[in-house]
Structure 1
């Protein structure tokens, strides 16, 4: 297994976090530490920074621990989902942080390990749990959801036009035998989609696998809680960077942060009171894609969209200082 994979948009991430992480005593959170690629780069770029890394995948955390050996006195790795960030910071006694990074989606390791069941290109058990210690598997979803529930998952999380066709086929076929491995599901999806629709867009099972993964891991629900919580954890002048890999994630990030970038007063009000001013400044114009050069060097960058923001003020009633603390 390649445990030294190339993380996406590393130079841009460092550039965006740089002003916040050069402050004395700076603390950065890698909310999706994975194999530690971004974390390692941040620790090397900012020799004084303390890093808190979160991941729900215990296998990934173990690889990160090995990768970050030698930097251990500046690293805290926590087995946690990223919406648990406030609890982690409270437990560690960290009142506020200077930077937060999210690198969303499935990791290279999860795709490469057949037994995890994330990849539709190889026959493997239908697991798809990012935390293999808890929760239902993709097989559980396929074998227990009714047609309406399966249709909702495939339509909302996979943006699958033929969601109901696929759901009906799943419910019919599982009566003969439950679904256990990916190859059977891939064949079912291919057979359920009209031939004309199979000729473009790559493997037709891609959307179904994405939808199941999101459902199994409650990814969008968790992200909807995590993004505001991460922004709330920032000190004034702290920065948040999010790498998304499909439109559902990116839209959710934009929707969660945009209200903080505009005054909380009617648009015709001539004077904006201090407690109604925006608390967020966008650092990117919309969602930034990777460059052609980056995509050539790292295929995973092909679908990435980056958004970044800076905290410009504390929320009313909460006074942040400028160095990662709260007073």
Structure 2
């Protein structure tokens, strides 16, 4: 199961890696980005986070052939500050986040991430956690389902789909991905089913985000990492959907902008200073035409970068 890292060169270049720095890959996956970071480190160190045991095993083997200047931490990146504190790390020189679900996770039918394969409803990035897609689909209240379908999937037929799920599961549990796809299709008007794109895509995305608490974890890691960043340190984030991109964009804007203050109020000396962070690029970096041709999963990717300047 091959996984091609999206925006690999662009994201590594954006970090402006220093050979003696402390860097974090918050989304280790199959080690594509981590490998490139590690190649540029001399006396520095890489800390790589992932919840997926299979990904950790594969990446550990890959990284060990490059250098021993790395530590893999089996945890989600929201625990960045606490986990790094265990290694006496309080400041970092860079963080990379690739927020796409890795190809092996999608392509492994048993994981239940994809509507393309029939598998038990799962979608857990960390197999140790109890909450799975099965519990969300079969046990969550109608109103909770509507909420996540609207918020995380931006699905305009959220109410109809949630109501249909409720009707079906009252008769028998919805156990597999294909069963869920059939339920979703049965709730949608024919004109939607005939449009481009898979009718279950938004609902599967919403359930996956809810199972893994992805958006809340993104909020946490961005604020923690920004507070830990050394001067001239950078954070590079690759997003693949609008909800994540909005969080990154708004957070970076908040930290790099001068707060708006009523002109009638006298300014304090610290309020006259420029913000301690700057956007490395005003607009997101997008994949080039060559990458788009070679990797279909790059089409929705956006890279945003911020730097601490003081």
TM-score calculated relative to the size of structure 1 = 0.90
Cα deviations by residue, 1:80-134 (Å, 9 ceiling, x for unpaired): 1111110122111112111100000311111011110001011011000000111
Following the alignment from structure 2 to structure 1, what is the Cα–Cα distance between the partners of residues 218 and 195? Answer: 30
How far is the alpha carbon of 1:45 from its aligned partner? 3.7
- Find the counterpart in structure 1 of residue 231 from structure 2: 236
Point out 4+ residue stretches in structure 1 off by more than 3 angstroms: 45-49, 267-272, 274-277
Q: Which residue of 2 aligns with 1:273?
A: 269
Equivalence for 1:16:
14
| Equivalent residues in 2 for 1:136-155, closer than 5 Å | 136-155=131-150
What is residue 286 of structure 1 aligned with on the other side?
283
Q: How does 1:90-239 map to 2 (within 5 A)?
A: 90-239=85-234
TM-score, normalised to structure 2's length?
0.94
1:291-310 paired onto structure 2 within 5 Å: 291-310=288-307
Most deviating of 89-98 and 212-221? 89-98
CA contact (8 A) 2:77 2:217 kept: yes
Q: Give the 5 Å matches for 1:237-252.
A: 237-252=232-247
Unaligned residue ranges in structure 2 (runs of 5+): none
CA change 1:202–1:82 in 2 (3 A) is same
- Tell me which residue corresponds to 1:261: 256
- Count of aligned residue pairs for this structure pair: 308
Gaps of 5+ in 1: 314-327
Deviates most, 157-166 or 195-204:
195-204
Change (3 A) 1:265 1:148: closer
TM-fit CA distance, 1:48: 4.5
1:260 positional shift: 1.3
